[in-house]
Structures are given as structure tokens and as C-alpha cells.
A and B are shown apart, each in its own frame.
Chain A
Amino acid sequence: MRSLYSTRRTWLHGVPAWTKLAALSAGGTALMLTGALAQLAVAAAIVLALFLSLGPAGWRQWRMLRGLFVACALIAGFHWLAGDPAVGVVSALRIMAASMLALMLTITTRFDDLLAVLETILSPLRRFGVPVERIALGIGLTLRFAENFYGQWQRLDDAHRARTGRGGGLRLLAPLAIRALQTAERVADALAARLGG
């Protein structure tokens, strides 16, 4: 399961994760605080230009934005029908601009770098018992077993299809859930043997 990070380098790839996150926070806040249509239109145009400047790394991900675009169009259309089109356009522009900024960060920032930032931010919570080091291990386990469980589901589905000619649908979820629990118990024992506790 690959992250959305693009290995095709852009100008934004070299910028440190902290900087990008700070810029995203500032940009996002600015967008939330702006209510004027004209200002938002300019801001949205700037964001779009920045997004396109990433080159293929950026617009290859247009699918991520497609569903969002539809939702924003619906919102704008809804407000237009309700008699206040400006509100709809403002909302739509704000959402699209914020999402594009966030997508730019996701495409150009490595998972490991973002995780390092998160661990640094959360480190004060260690004294309150929050298991910050376990996050990396936890996500690693999640990814490893997501592929495993998906494979199991596909095999169950294929077997069902071979028997009945149709997909298994909801019937496959119980075996999947039970296998997940059983696997969790085995992994727990293996981890406890290795890490203790």
C-alpha cells in the first residue's frame, strides 16, 4: 500500500516538512478567516497556480480532487438555488483551495518526515502516558496486515465467486473479522516475546 507521496521530485520536495506544515496552517487559517469573494477568488487562483507548478506530480492526483470538486459544485449549486450564490461560491473556493494546499503537502512530503514531526509535537505527552513511540510501530503493523487481510478477503471472494458466480459481499465479513482477531492474538504473542510486556 503506497502512500500518496510522489517520487517524482518537484520544487516543493526539498522544503522541510515543518515549514510546509506551518505554511499549510497559516494558509488554511487565512482561508478560513477570509469571507470576501474577491479575495478568495484571488487566493484560490494563486493556490491553483502553485498546484499546477508542481507539474505531473500534482495533476496526476487529479482523481483525489474530483470527488471534492463534485461536492463543491453541489454546495455552490445548492446555495445558488437557495438564493445566496455568493455564500456557495465562497464555501466552494475555500474548500478547494484548502484541499489543494493540503494535497500539495501530502504529495511532496515523505511519510517518515511527517511522522517525525508528529512525534516531536506529541513528545510532551509522554509524561502523561501517551505511547508516542508506539505510533510508528502501530502504523507499520497496520499497513502490513491491511495487505494481508485484503488478500484474504480477495481469496474468500474468489472462492465464493467460483462456487456461486457472484461476489460474496457481506457474508465474507464475519470470517474476515474472526481471522483478524485470531491474527491479532498471534501477533500479540510474537510481539510480547520480542518486546516484552
Chain B
Amino acid sequence: MTTTGTMTSTRSLSYIALFAAVIAVFGLIPKIDLPFGVPITLQSLGIMLVGCLLGPKRAFYTIGLFLVAVALGLPLLSGGRGGLGVFVAPSAGFLLGWWVGAVVCGLCMRQFMRRMPDAKGKGLLIAAFLSSVIGGILAMYFFGILGLMLAAHLTLVQASLAVLAFVPGDLVKCVVCAILVQSVVRGMPAWRLDRD
């Protein structure tokens, strides 16, 4: 198996482009109803997954490529949205939150996996779950709430309350992300989570 080389290597480009495609597809998949009636959209799950699986550098380029594609007019966000307009919407902060969140997920995951490189069971699940929460919820909501405050002239408390309803669904996504990471590691034993 060849080494990854720099970010300009064609190998990295493949992973980056194809995982940007995965995020696009997660946006196309319709809302999924969880058992207790809460519907969730999957795109932020895709963000966490990319962060955990690809590591911080590739996650940075993946989400960056995805956002560039959206900015150029491709309808890759859930609901078929796209174009520069999504960057001036009240939820625009979450797009930046996705970018930072994926990188943070990757950084956390890499730190965990360097300490336990052969984890495949509970250790891996917990590492992926924690990484998803820190990146996919803490980092993401930080920028999402900030963006909402600026766009809608809300105070921190008001904006936080406005997005509170989505947190339980996102916590479930963190659990799902952890399970997915474990499935992928089991399905592709050569895939390494402790490198860039």
C-alpha cells in the first residue's frame, strides 16, 4: 500500500473528492425518523464521519472542496440548496462550523488513536463518539450560534435556545458516527486512523 504523500498527491485528491461526494449524498438522503419520532438530516453526520475517518488535513480539504462546490452553484446541501446565498442565510454559521468541526473531529480522533492504535472495540467507539461530540457538536454549534447571533441580531442566550432542539438529534448522530467508524475499521482493516 503506497504512502499518502502530500495533499497534492492524486491519492489524497481521490479521497477528498469522493468523501465530498459522500457528504453530498448524505444531503440527498431524505430525513430519517428516529424511533422516538425525531427526524434527523444526515449531512452533519457526514461531516463527523469525514473528520473521524480522514484525519484533520484531509477533512479540511474535503469540507473546503464541498463548500466551494456549493458556492459555485451546485445544490449539494440538504433540500437541494446551493449557491452563494446559503452563505448569507441565518444558518450560514453552521457551514463554517462544519468546516472547523470536521477538522476538530479529526484532531481529536488522531490523538485518541495514537494512544491506542489497535483499538477496534469499545475504545474505538468511545474515541469516535467523543471526537464527534467535540467536533460535531461543540465546535459546530459554536460557529452556528455565532452566525445566528450576527444574522438575526439575537443574544447568545436567544440563539442558543433557538438551536437547542437540534442537539438531541445531533447527539444521536455522534453515536451513529461512532458505530459507523467501527464498522468501517472492521470492514477495511488496513485503513489507519492515527495518521494525517
Interface residues of A (CB under 8 A from B): 1-5, 24, 28, 63-64, 67-68, 71-72, 75, 78-79, 82, 87-88, 90-91, 95, 98-100, 102-103, 105-107, 109, 111, 114-115, 118, 129, 131, 134-135, 137-146, 148-150, 153, 167, 169-170, 173-174, 176-178, 180-185, 187-188, 191-192, 195-197
Q: Which residues of B contact A90 (CB under 8 A)?
A: 153
| B residues near A1, Cβ cutoff 8 Å | 24, 74-76
Asked if B22 lies at the interface with its beta carbon under 8 angstroms from chain A, I say yes
| Residue contact A141 to B90, C-beta cutoff 8 Å | no
The list of the 7 closest CB pairs from A to B, nearest first, reads A106-B83, A141-B17, A102-B85, A174-B183, A188-B14, A145-B21, A102-B84
Structural contact, B10 and A177, CB atoms closer than 8 A: no
Which of B105-113, B117-125, B184-192 lies at the interface with chain A? B184-192
Q: Output the residue of B7, B33, B153 with the most chain A CB within 10 A.
A: B153
Pairs across A and B, CB under 8 Å, 28 listed: A4-B74, A4-B75, A4-B82, A68-B89, A78-B158, A95-B88, A95-B90, A95-B152, A98-B88, A99-B85, A105-B84, A106-B83, A115-B72, A141-B17, A142-B65, A143-B69, A145-B17, A146-B21, A146-B28, A149-B25, A153-B29, A176-B25, A178-B184, A180-B18, A180-B22, A185-B14, A191-B14, A192-B10
What is the bound-complex CA distance between A106 and B86, given in angstroms? 11
User: A141 near B13 (CB under 8 angstroms)?
Assistant: yes
A139–B69 touching, CB < 8 Å: yes
**Interface size band for B:** 35 or more
With an 8 A cutoff between CB atoms, is B130 at the interface?
A: no
Q: Is the CB of B22 within 8 A of A75?
A: no
Docked Cα-Cα span, A181 to B50, in Å, equals: 11
Residues of B within 8 A of A (CB): 2, 5-11, 13-22, 24-25, 28-29, 32-33, 42, 45, 49, 53, 65-66, 68-69, 71-76, 79-85, 87-91, 151-154, 158, 162, 176, 179-180, 183-184, 187-188, 191
Instruction: Please tell me if the beta carbons of A188 and B76 are within 8 angstroms of each other in the complex.
Output: no
- Assembly CA distance A1 to B73 (angstroms): 11
Contacting residue for A142 out of B5, B17, B53, CB 8 A = B17
Besides A75-B154, A178-B184, 5 other A-B contacts (C-beta < 8 A): A1-B76, A67-B81, A95-B151, A141-B13, A178-B183
Minimum CB–CB distance from A40 to chain B (whole Å) comes to 13
Asked if A150 contacts B14 (CB within 8 A), the reply is: no
Known contacts A109-B73, A170-B32, A182-B188; A197/B14 CB under 8 A: no
CB pair B18 A183 closer than 8 Å: yes
Nearest chain B residue, comparing its CB with the CB of A109: B73
Contact at B188–A111, with CB atoms within 8 Å?
no
Bound-state CA distance A170–B72 (Å) is 30
